[in-house]
Structure 1
Amino acid sequence: MLIAKVILFDTRIPEKDFLYYYIPEELVDSAQVGKAVIIPLKKRRVLGYIWDISEEEVQGLELKPITAVLEKFPILSSSLISLVNWISEYYENSLFKSANYIFPSGINLKLKRIFKRVEPCSTKLTKKQEEVYEILKEEKNLEKLKKEVKVSESLLRDLIRKNVITERIEVELSEKIPRKEFFYIPKRDNWDIDKDSLLEFSKLKQSLSNKPLLLFVENRKERWRIYIEVIKYFFNKEKQVLIIFPTLNSLFDFLQFLEDKVPIKYYPYHGLLTPAQSYQVYKLSYEEKPILIVSSGKGIFLPFSSLGVIILDEEENEFYNMREKEPRFDVSKVAVKRAELDKIPIILGTSSPSVASFYNSIKGVYSLYRKSAKKPKISVIDMRRGKGEVLSYYTLKRVKEVLYNNKQVFFLLNRLGYSTYLQCNDCGYTFYCPHCSTSLVYHSDTLELKCHYCGYSMPAVTTCPKCGGYSFNYGGLGTEKLESYLKRLFPKKIVQRWDSEKDIKDETILYKSDIIVGTRLIVPWIPRMSVGLLIVVNLDNFLHLPDFSMPEKIFHLIRRIMSDFPGEELIIQTYSSQHYVIRALKANFYNLFLHEELNLRKTLSYPPFSTLHQILLIGDDENELIEEGIKLRDMIKEKYENLSILGPAPFFPMVLREKYRYQLIIKDESDLPLNLKNIVEYNNTFASYKVIINKDVREIL
């Protein structure tokens, strides 16, 4: 007897990695690994996927048969199943949650129960049973049967048990059809020919092997034009193409970029699609070739039947690191793994490669293709020479010149609110969130103090709750304060703020603005605007945060802006002008940053010279967390002696929504498999706290 391991396609059902069913004789030929099936579960019929088939009996279980095999449903390839297994094992995720991450919504099942009598009948029947038996001379579904005779479920079960009638189930897949077309229709009949991109592609084509290609092209549009040549090359081979972006802004920019350059339909795949649209793309990825799908990170799990190449843009972007909920994984690493399993090329596009990826190119793990680009002038202002002013003399001079020439000025400041803290001048009392270990941010537009972690807010006060004082220090610089300051300086100019606190419903306002102040939310808009000058204010707070990845993040952010910057100059105001990140940005020299960063990481055994894992402990009792963290650390050290483990130490913010948070950071310099989940589960069997495992992390904050 063949036994199928089935993963349920329904996250509403209590989590269980596998359920076991036997394959009835009539389905042996059609039941295959990767196929969708209908299975009985209690009183329901549910959808699942066959994950494995074996002849081994499952002890202590009375198995039910698979009801039906869905031939029209996309089949999961063995490589896609292997990928999900790898994500579950490597990142120590639940297999059930990992597998269900790939399935789209937008599917309904319609089950038809069809009955027919068995002839001849030698069993004595009641009058009601005889009536049903006579009606079922020809087979009928349950709906038709109930129209002709009043029949109960118990009566039907009794007749089936006595072998008087038979029941079979037909399955119809009811697919929701999108109400309107959402794919992109070509605006031209032939491919846009760009001689420079064609030449670049002819140079790098030989690097399209099973080894990942790091496409280090500094100008974003030039890189995208190369992507078009890649698409054309694989379309001519009747292959499918997947392009992945880390953010919706980048994804939509690329979709718009393609509109007048390719003669093909192409499909988006992201979280803003309706369930019906998501399912349609899911199905087309299996059925249609060639096809181009432009996707968020989730596209890496589509069931392609003839995938030719994967392109992952902005490979350095931290948004590829999925840590919010299980399954937790890094999209860029999963994409490389899928390309390896499918034996196809993968292109990792970037204007500023991650340290890990460039190091892989040095070691020969990745191929490298590099093309530099002309960059805007970068001016670094050493604010230590000033007198504590918000903007330097040179910055103000350049702002006036750019505004005089009718160009826009952008200010990038990654701090929300008016003041980042409020402190009493008499006693030093600082206002903190009652639910988190962070200071409340003052917002002048709403006269509130807000916590940017849990959302708590309170009205701004006029007296100190501790000493009754009336004098306050509105410390720190946020986007609101900078906006207010600029409005006073330039009263005749239109100053607009855009951050996560201010929703701009009419985006045309931005085009009419002279000065725009914002957080990193404004970055995707910079290439679309008439920007003459960009000022980066106060990088120092982030440069010196206790996270090894922060210098790299800041470097990539500024380089990403530079890759498609339409203006002439970028000004960085800083108190750390001699920091290697600032020096590398000013010199426009990636290798300077890389050299300094690799030396520092090698000294401290940070990635790529080790793999970092994080264990996060969350609970009500701080002392318990520390004690349990020490126990957990010692248990891991006992099993894996060569690991370096830091902590338990507070995880910022240490208190979030009235829960304490502590972490263990594990440095692993070996390539041996590391199983933390079993140790955590053994230690946490009856505990009152929550434990989260993050494997192979990019950051520790």
Structure 2
Amino acid sequence: MHNNGNHSNQLLFQQEKPSLFADVIVPIYLPKILTWSIPAEWNNRVQQGSRVIVQVGKSKRYAGIIKRLHTDVPGLYETKPILEVLDEAPVVMPEQLRLWEWIAQYYCSTEGEVMMAALPAHLKLSSESVIQYNDGHTVAIQELSDKEYILTEALEIKQQLNLGEIQSLLDSNNVYPVVKKLVEKGIATVWESIQETYKEKTETYVLLAPVYRNEAALEKLINEWQKAPKQLDLLLSFLHYDRTEGQVTKAALLKKSGVTSSVLEGLVSKGVLQLEKRSVDRLPQVAKQLDVNIQFSAAQKTALQQLQESMQQHAVTLLHGVTGSGKTQLYIQLMAEAIQRGEQCLYLLPEIALTSQIVRKLRQHLGGYVGIYHSKFNANERLELWNKVKSGEIQVVLGARSALFLPFCNLKLIVVDEEHDSSFKQYDPPPRYHARDAAIFYASVCNAKVLLGSATPSLESYHNCLQHKYGLVILTERYGDLQLPDIDIIDLKQVPESRKQKVILTEAMKERINQTLQQNKQVIVFQNRRGYAPYQLCGTCGWIPKCDQCDVSLTYHKSTQKLHCHYCGTTYPLAKTCGACGSQDFRQKNFGTEQLEELLDQTFDNAVVARMDTDSVRGKHSHENLIRQFEDQRIQILAGTQMVVKGLDFDHVGLVCIPDADGIMRFADFRAAERAFQLIEQVSGRAGRKGEKGKVVVQLFDTANPIIPFLQQHDFPAFYQYEVAQRQLFFYPPFSRLIMLQCKHKDQTTSWMACDALAAWLRTKYDKYISGPAEPPINRIRNEYITELLLKLPRNAAFLEQAKADIKTAIVEMQHQEAFKRVRVSIDVDPQ
């Protein structure tokens, strides 16, 4: 713990002029990197990438990262000295610092915001105000208010309290006036405390005392203890465990022997056994061995050779392989080759939902060389993996987008699987980076190669291949010579008019599901909305309950019997009386996965039905358990959202159903057709992966949609040619770069006027590139009104950088106006 008393290093600094300075990144929003001086005694301890304690403002302190050491004296302000050096070795590598700088510059954020996203929680330290009791005060109890007396009494007992403890004690969040009064009366002082939060995990091991480690002494002891059965049982259990396992933990021994800890303590007190605390890993220990005898098909062998050749010639290569073609096996082969060369690899997936199946495949072939990194791991586990990657102990990391920030020491291959997926884009909080694009920059810094993989590549990546910026390898055959599934269309316009609103599963779809179940095959039913009903509607006047804080309709969840806002998370009681006309005639419109699961369960009573969405899969291992049950065919029908679409590999799925394809296609977004094609093609790819050819049944009204023929032919190149012509016509990516500005304020008029002022300033230079101001489809979230401004800019690096600089200037100019001081502006470069 560190406080701000008469710090000896500050006194030293006053006596001796510093010659060394450090630019330090601190984990807060600061437009520029600030400089601190280094006390002379620490000149040999400080290093680029290590953490130091620095003071920002009057008292707040942070653990910052040294970005640069230099001898340039800042001319604009007097530097403060750093207060402490926390690390003997850097926690961040130079290549990471370059990545942070690029992300901050390209995505219009700050390096402090990148640091917040990049570092594990235990490496991000900031000070906390601590209130300390002054024993020498002379204030009488009668001079104190009730709250002051309560706090004084608590301080007298405990000597010091933090603000959280005081808030709990006084049952109030507004404790600052009380603390201020105690400080003014001399009863307490306030100082800032920083404390390391990571603690090693320890385990108590049981050892045999040295005197009994020879057979004769041990045999004599056993004979003597024939009349002490409990102690003898424990000793024999220990000996058996020790000889079979090699080491014995206290917890495992007590569980195995079935005796109490007092029996063990008796053996310890008699000098027979010893207890020893040891630091242990939180991460699972797996043997480091490679087993890569994969039986490649002829198409895979050709693709592997082409990949190896392409990666020699290109920094980035796209593997466009149809669903079920065995792309993962190729990744494993390339990563195994990298491991044998002593190199590190990063395998990025769009979200953690994909990891459980992939982890098993990777562990099967690459063993303990693989580490996992994603948000379901706790802070301690993440820090331990961070350190193992930094030391090179872990050579392959499988993770979601945040794994990009790990401190690799010899990174040579980055695989970005399902590279088209929008989950690679970070939205809030900033930095709003795209992990695929950031990975390509990071690879250039590390002299590594990037392999992008997808059955439905993003138009931007495919365009870069056709422009020869990326290498392209195509794998058109499914593994095992399987054919891609047939896609059958059911036209909902043919359903009788009176039943249109009620039909979720048409008779034709039910019949296909029944046929599939009779063949002992499994069924996946995809619906891209969770909850029971996306909205309730008054049958009399059409009023729809909406969130008080967001401009969205509330979703009914039957499991909680509440209405949920899927944007801010607020829940509301069910609407029973219309807020407009007072009617009690409510109807549930459309359907979500919860209602779909219920309907399937009622319709197919001989089948086990389960649901996979973010509401049903919440625990650390619940997703993996559900997948295992489906793999083992303990579940016959699986209903779910995009979780069932992305990369999962099931042997016995014969049918995929999409009962509401219109809901996928109807979006007011230039990427709507691309997203719909990707989503339907990806979900159809779950069918027919082993044995017979699979089938896909799609229900929709919009049977004339131009993407339908491309889907039925599984023809991505033809879809690309159609869609890219539309993009070129309207100057959308890949022919332009987009920057989205959002003005947010609790008053709708202020939000609009601020955005209009911003647009007026930017139009002086970028008039023909600006669209807006406009309201987004959802114009209020968390009680803030949103107004948008879109810039479609030419793909010219210098022009883009100048535009970003001008945008930042325009925001400063706008916020200098009194009316717009509290308007928040977010900048989203390359919005998805």
State the TM-score, normalizing by the size of structure 1: 0.82
Q: Counterpart amino acid of 2:509? A: T
**Is 1:531 matched with 2:653?**
yes
Is 1:696 equivalent to 2:829 in the alignment?
yes
Change in 2 beyond 3 A, CA 1:16/1:7: farther
Tell me the amino acid that sits aligned with residue 323 of structure 1. Answer: Y
- 1:689–1:578 Cα change, 3 Å: farther
The answer to whether structure 1 residue 600 and structure 2 residue 726 are counterparts is: yes
1:470, distance to aligned residue in structure 2 (A): 4.9
Alignment pair present for 1:304 and 2:408: yes
Structure 1 position 249 matched with structure 2 position 353: yes
Alignment gaps of 5+ in structure 2 = 1-17, 126-193, 202-279
| Correspondences of 1:507-518 after superposition (within 5 Å) | 507=626, 511-518=633-640
Q: Secondary structure at the match of 2:423?
A: helix
Q: CA deviation at 1:509?
A: 6.8
Paired residue for 1:319, among 409, 417, 423? 423
Decide which of 416, 428, 451 is 2:542's aligned counterpart. Answer: 428
Superposition CA RMSD, Å? 3.2
> What's the counterpart of residue 75 of structure 2?
59
Q: Is the 8 A contact 1:6 1:48 kept in 2?
A: no
Deviation at 1:357, TM superposition (A): 0.2
Partner of 1:404: 518
Q: Is the 8 A contact 2:541 2:581 kept in 1?
A: yes
**So what's the TM-score if we normalise by structure 2?**
0.70
Distance 1:410 1:195 in 2: 28
2-side partners of 1:212 and 1:416: how far apart?
Answer: 36
Offset of 1:431 from its aligned partner? Answer: 3.2
Give the Å deviation of 1:322: 0.3
State the alpha-carbon separation in 1 of the partners of residues 751 and 791 from structure 2.
17
Find the aligned partners of 1:525 and 1:52 in 2 and give their Cα distance: 42
- The match for 2:308 among 199, 205, 217 is 205
What's the offset of the Cα at 1:563? 4.1
Deviation of residue 605 (structure 1)? 0.9
Contact 2:655 2:687 in 1 (8 A): no
Instruction: Note the alpha carbon deviations across 1:176-217, whole angstroms, 9 max, x for none.
Output: 435544245148564334344555323321211452111112
| Higher share in helix | 2
Q: 8 Å contact 2:48–2:90 — kept in the other structure?
A: no
Query: Mapping of 1:560-579 within 5 angstroms?
Result: 560-566=682-688, 568-579=694-705
What 5-or-longer segments of structure 1 have no aligned partner?
110-170
Q: How does 1:110-509 map to 2 (within 5 A)?
A: 176-178=199-201, 180-183=281-284, 185-186=286-287, 190-196=291-297, 197=300, 200-209=303-312, 210-219=314-323, 222-288=326-392, 291-372=395-476, 373=478, 374-387=483-496, 388=500, 389-444=503-558, 447-502=561-616, 507=626
Instruction: Tell me how far 1:480 sits from its aligned partner.
Output: 3.9
Q: How many Å apart are 1:689 and its aligned residue?
A: 4.3
Q: How far apart in 2 are the matches of 1:298 and 1:292? A: 15
Tell me: CA distance 1:275–1:635, structure 2 relative to 1, closer, same or farther (3 Å).
same
Residues 1:520 and 2:543 aligned together: no
Indicate how the Cα distance of structure 1 residues 457 and 272 shifts in structure 2: closer, same or farther if over 3 A, else same: closer
State the secondary structure of the residue aligned to 2:775. Answer: strand
Name the structure 1 match of 2:95: 79
Match 2:107 to one of 78, 86, 91: 91
Q: Matched residue pairs, number? A: 635
Distance 1:232 1:465, change over 3 A: closer
Contact 2:745 2:784 (8 Å CA) reproduced? yes
Matching residue within 710, 720, 729 for 1:584: 710
Cα 1:368–1:464, aligned 2, differ >3 Å: closer, same or farther?
same
Mark the CA change 1:423 to 1:16 in structure 2 (over 3 Å): closer, same or farther.
closer
Say yes or no: does 1:653 pair with 2:773: no
Structure 1 pair 220/320, CA: closer, same or farther in 2 (3 Å)? farther
Distance 1:177 1:564, change over 3 A: farther
Amino acid in structure 1 at the alignment position of 2:783 = E
Would you say the 8 A contact 1:5–1:18 is kept in 2? no
Contact 2:773/2:788, CA 8 A, preserved across alignment: yes
The verdict on how the C-alpha distance between 1:72 and 1:652 changes in structure 2, with shifts beyond 3 A counting, is same
1:665 paired residue number: 790
- The letter of the residue matching 1:177 is E
Alpha-carbon distance in 2 for matches of 1:468, 1:173: 57
Superposition map of 1:535-554 within 5 A: 535-554=657-676
CA–CA separation in structure 2 for the residues paired with 1:412 and 1:284: 39
- Corresponding letter in the other structure for 2:33: F
SS at match of 1:323: coil
| Alpha-carbon distance, 1:599 to partner | 0.9
Task: For 1:314, give the aligned amino acid.
Answer: E
Deviates more, 1:99-108 or 1:277-286: 99-108
